[in-house]
Structure formats: structure tokens, C-alpha cells
Amino acid sequence: MKILVAVKRVVDYNVKIRVKPDQSGVELANVKMSMNPFDEIAVEEAVRLKEAGTATEVVAVSIGPAQSLDTIRTALAMGADRGILIKTEDAPEPLAIAKMLKSIAEEEKPDLVILGKQAIDDDSNQTGQMLAALTGWGQGTFAYKIAPSEGKVSVTREVDGGLQTVELNLPAVVTTDLRLNEPRYASLPNIMKAKKKPVAEKTPEELGVDTAKRLEVLKTEEPAGRVAGVKVASVDELIEKLKTEAGVL
């Protein structure tokens, strides 16, 4: 089976972001960027399926600025076979991303598309579901376990209250949750090898996708702050404060 994996370049998980003073957005200049953590899990899962002999080829796609090539190289170093970079000026919305991925899927004809369940920058949690809608494929979102078999894939999903297992016809779209696997670190030899793996470049225009924004961002603000309270010295003082001052007991 052939697997397509979508990877996004985002502000690194450990960076504490800052809102620009003019409220026009979040400060991205000179900030460390990395692959979206959920997408790392997606790449890892695809590579494991290849190592297990289930998958024959893993193709990593990234949509974004030219530097998204680094994100693809990371996926290649982890074990993906080749990359596709769709270069865009600014960050398209999930709907446009899903349309571009659909166009790539029509060309590549994968059996499975694996994506992170959400990107940790805009926290939209939409792209996988939208891709499944546009292709008419089944969707296994928030995956905890993936088990492909002949023509089908069984996906155990993290849902409110526990786990749910669904079976999907292939091709299908799966989005990853945190506990699906623990992604590997790419080794130095593999990072070197990844530089020789092929990466094709495309544009939204070539794919015939209109990336005009549907959501107009009016402003970006700091969330309402929370000020640190007081330290109490004992359990008795804590109970006293909760009863009289906070009134929550």
C-alpha cells in the first residue's frame, strides 16, 4: 500500500509565542520552527507500516513557504521515500489545504493518507476531515491505533469517555492523536541520506486551487491574563481560604 503523509511547519512546541503589539498576529520572526508534533506521529506511523512490510512507499507532502522543504527533509530523514512541496506565500486555511491535498491524492492514488489531528499553531483540527469529505473517503480521526488489512483499515479512536474502533474502506484518511506512537529521532546518516531523496515542487495554481481566505482575521490578542495568587502555609489555611475567601467549598 502507498501512504501519503501531510506535514506542516509550525512554531516549535517549546516556544512561548508572543502576540505582536499592534495585534496583527503572532511574532514569527526569529522563532524556532519545527514539524507539527502530530505530523511527526503521522510520519512515524507511516514509516512503521513500511518497515512492517505493509506499506510500499511513503510520500510526505508539505504546503507552505519555501522553508517547508526543511520539514519535508525531516520526514525523509525519518524514513519517508520522497517529498512534494506546494509553495504558498502565506498560510492557506484548512479548506484550501484539503483541496490541494485532494488534488495530490488524485495524482498519487494513495491507499491511506495520514495527517496530524491538528496543527499546534492555529489549532483548527479540520484538514483531515475536510480531505475525507472532498474525496468521499472514510475518516478515522484522533487515532490511537491503526491496523490495515486487505482493502480495509481498522482505526481505534480517542473519543470523549474512552476509545472507539471503526473500520474504513481503503482509501481512507486517518488523523493521529498523541498516543498512537512515539516518533523516532532521525539519525545523522539518515539525515544525510534524506538530502538525496527527491522532492517535487508545485504551486496552488498548478493544482487549480483558489487559496483566497474565507476567514478575515480582525485582530489577535493576548488572552485575558491570570495573576498568580498567594501561597498558603498549610492545608488548614488552604481550606479556610477556599471556604471564606473563594467561597467554592
Partner 1 sequence: MTTLLLAEHDNATLSGETAKALTAAKALGAEVHVLVVGETVSAVAEAASKLDGAAKVLTAEGGHLAHRLAEPTAALIVALAEAYDAFVAPATTTGKNVMPRVAALLDVMQVSEVMAVEAPDTFKRPIYAGNAVQTVRSTDAKKVLTIRTSGFDAAGEGGSAAIEAVSATAGDPGVSSFVSEELAKSERPDLSSAKIVVSGGRALGSDEKFKEVIVPLAEKLNAAIGASRAAVDAGYAPNDWQVGQTGKIVAPELYIACGISGAIQHLAGMKDSKVIVAINKDEEAPIFQVADYGLVGDIFTLVPELTEKL
Near partner 1 in 152-171, by CB under 8 A: 154, 157-169
Measured in degrees and rounded to the nearest 5, phi and psi for residue 186 equal -75, 135
Rule CB under 8 A: is residue 223 a binding residue for partner 1? Answer: yes
Select from 54-62, 73-81, 201-209, 214-222 the region that touches partner 1 (CB under 8 A). Answer: 214-222
Rule CB under 8 A: is residue 141 a binding residue for partner 1? Answer: yes
SS3 at position 98 = helix
Helices 94-108, 127-135: crossing angle, 10 deg rounding: 50
CB of 191 to partner 1, least distance (A): 27
Q: Which is nearer to partner 1, 129 or 203 (CB)?
A: 129
Select from 51-59, 81-89, 140-148, 191-199 the region that touches partner 1 (CB under 8 A). Answer: 140-148
Burial 138-161 (b: 16+ CB within 10 A, else e): bbbbbbbbbebeeeebebbbbeee
CB of 155 to partner 1, least distance (A): 9
Query: Quick one: which H or E segment has residue 9?
Result: strand 9-11
**Residues whose CB falls within 8 Å of the CB of residue 212, separated by 6 or more in sequence, listed in order:** 96
Near partner 1 in 97-116, by CB under 8 A: 98
Q: How far apart, in whole angstroms, are the C-alpha atoms of residue 24 and residue 66?
A: 23
Near partner 1 in 39-78, by CB under 8 A: none
CB of 216 to partner 1, least distance (A): 4
Q: Which is nearer to partner 1, 192 or 215 (CB)?
A: 215
Q: Is 53 left (phi over 0), alpha (psi -120 to 50) or beta?
A: left
Instruction: Candidates 136, 189, 198, 208: give the one binding partner 1 (CB under 8 A).
Output: 136
Which position has the grid cell 487549480?
A: 208
Instruction: Tell me the per-residue interface mask from 174 to 193 with partner 1, x by CB under 8 A, - otherwise.
Output: ---xxx--------------
